[in-house]
Amino acid sequence: MGKQHVVTMIPGEGTGPEICEAVRTVIDASGVNIKWEYEDIGLDCLEKHGTLLPDKTIQSIAKNKVALKGPTTTPVGTGHKSANVTLRKVFDLYANVRPAKLIPVLKRPWDKIDIINFRENTEDCYAAIEHMVSDEVAQCLKVITWPGSYRIADFAFKWAKENGRKKVYCVHKANIMKMTDGLFLDAFREVAKKYPDIESGDVIVDNCCMQLVKNPGQFDCLVLPNLYGDILTDLCAGLVGGLGFAPGANVGDNCAIFEAVHGSAPKYAGQKKVNPSAVLVSGIMMLRWLKETEAADRIQEAMFAVLDERKHVTYDVGGTAKTDEYAKAIVDKMLVKV
Amino acid sequence: MPTFTETAKATKKKRDIKLVGVDMYIITDKGIPKFDDIGPFKCEFISNRGTKVWPGFVSPDLLMVNWYRCRFMATKDVKDADVNSFLDTLTRNGWWWSAVQKLWNYDGEAGFSKAY
């Protein structure tokens, strides 16, 4: 057994607990030494503790500096703040890293997609500054700051450099929003000067959407303000097979939370029917972040092999396996390899 | 036949509007501002880039810029003239502010968001 990591596990709601249990089974079988601390979040907490995000959960993440999180439900229009957004704010998790890579067995109409999106995660229209400025006009402030823009660009270029990526492009609408998106682009260009070995450039967000659908293989790393990032990361997930396989990480300078980006699918809760792959791939990202590369590779290889065989896959990819049966097949595949 | 614009305008409903506070946007390089009550206005929270930084827990990692939203709620019924006096006092106390946004309730419901 290698170094022990203590990780906060937040199973979330709806199908979250059964997904996270399956993912834990796989990660534990990979040989990595993780002590899991289970904590709560979401609507169930609101009923039990009167808050969507209990202090105990915050303290656990603050202590361990790394968490794996299942899906949660954000109430729409009830006045409750999203627990996810609150977590990002509390820990200043400014970089939302969302890879979109073709999984070989999922047939898609493109030969190559291997994009890493770096979405600024704390500013823009998500600063929660909204007012009814008259009885027929609502206003939302779009907040873009120099240091907020600079650090996400710096984070992206550094990630690109460390992972052998060739191109980093800024996505914006600075032709229209000259102050806000203009500042974001200016900061990006300033950072790009520090990384002369990496090709940099920019693309206007609407053109970027069209190009992504027409020829996604041309993109490498994208840096986006929060709102465009929210939309384009889902677009990219759709290109490679949907949210069921889309991992995500919310990273700050001292803390990282890894999570799937799909919802909690409460109507399937308890049926062990849903595909846990998105949380599992997020777990693989987490292992790489913890420098547990061998365990990450082992899980990824076994997962691809199980998907390729199609004997023990979930309904969304044409199979009949339950969530835990799919996980067990991955574990069995890893044990065969060992 | 009314146009779509005319039809849209005709849907406007009469709403009861009540002044309940102000959001002040303060610029300072001296950290999180502190305020005593100013007339009938009491500081309820301060946020930076949308994240609440007072009162309560602030992550030491949090990126803060020199622009704070300071929410002052009225502790009694107030009028627009009370806001003018409030702004005068704030300015006299040395605070540099970029904007003010009055906070209204519409039919008893808050017409403004909370901070995270």
Q: Tens of pLDDT along chain A (338 residues)? A: 688 999 999 998 889 999 999 999 999 999 999 999 999 988 778 878 888 888 899 999 999 999 999 988 766 655 566 788 788 878 899 999 999 998 877 778 888 899 999 999 999 998 889 999 999 999 999 999 999 999 999 999 999 999 999 999 999 999 999 999 999 999 999 999 999 999 999 999 999 999 999 999 999 999 999 999 999 999 999 998 888 888 999 999 989 999 988 878 888 888 889 999 999 999 999 999 999 999 999 999 999 999 999 899 998 888 999 999 999 999 999 987 65
pLDDT value of residue B78: 98
- What distance in Å separates residue A28's CA from the closest CA in chain B? 31
> What is the value of pTM for the model shown?
0.91
User: For residue A219, which phi and psi values (nearest 5 degrees)?
Assistant: -95, 150
pLDDT value of residue A77: 55
Residue among A90, A123, A253 whose CB faces B49 most closely: A123
pLDDT value of residue A74: 67
ipTM above 0.85, yes or no: yes
Q: A320: which residues sit within 8 A by CB, 6+ positions away?
A: none
pLDDT value of residue A53: 87
**A228: annotated active-site residue:** no
Residue among A127, A131, A255 whose CB faces B50 most closely: A127
Mean pLDDT of chain B: 94
Residue B115 pLDDT class (50, 70, 90 cuts)? confident
**A230: annotated active-site residue:** yes
Chain B hits for A148, Cβ within 8 Å: 49, 63, 65
* Helix residue ranges, H only, chain A: 16-29, 43-49, 55-64, 83-90, 146-162, 180-192, 205-214, 226-240, 277-289, 293-309, 323-337
pLDDT value of residue A270: 86
The CB density around residue A163, as the number of other CB atoms within 10 Å, is: 10
Please give the residue of chain A at the shortest CA–CA distance from B115.
Answer: A128
Q: Which of A291, A276, A312 is nearest to A11 (CA)?
A: A276
User: For residue A227, which phi and psi values (nearest 5 degrees)?
Assistant: -70, -50
pLDDT value of residue A338: 55
Interchain pair A132, B111: CB under 8 A: yes
Please give the residue of chain B at the shortest CA–CA distance from A91.
Answer: B59
Interchain pair A85, B116: CB under 8 A: yes
pLDDT value of residue A108: 81
Radius of gyration of chain B (CA): 17
Catalytic hit among A173, A273, A328, A333: A173
**A206: annotated active-site residue:** yes
pLDDT (average), residues B83-97: 97
Which one of B18, B48, B49, B106 would you mutate to disrupt binding with A, by most A Cβ within 10 Å of its Cβ?
B49
Which one of B27, B61, B107, B114 would you mutate to disrupt binding with A, by most A Cβ within 10 Å of its Cβ?
B61
| pLDDT tops 60 at residue B47 | yes
pLDDT value of residue A81: 67
Interchain pair B63, A90: CB under 8 A: no
Radius of gyration of chain A (CA): 20
Chain A hits for B112, Cβ within 8 Å: 130-132
A256 class by beta-carbon count within 10 Å (0-12 exposed, 13-18 middle, 19+ buried):
buried
pLDDT value of residue A109: 83
Chain B hits for A129, Cβ within 8 Å: 23, 47, 50, 69, 113
* Cis peptide preceding B55, ω within 30 of 0: yes
pLDDT value of residue B104: 97
Which one of A51, A91, A92 would you mutate to disrupt binding with B, by most B Cβ within 10 Å of its Cβ?
A92
pLDDT value of residue A78: 54
Beta strands A167-172 and A199-204 are parallel
Beta strands B109-110 and B96-106 are antiparallel
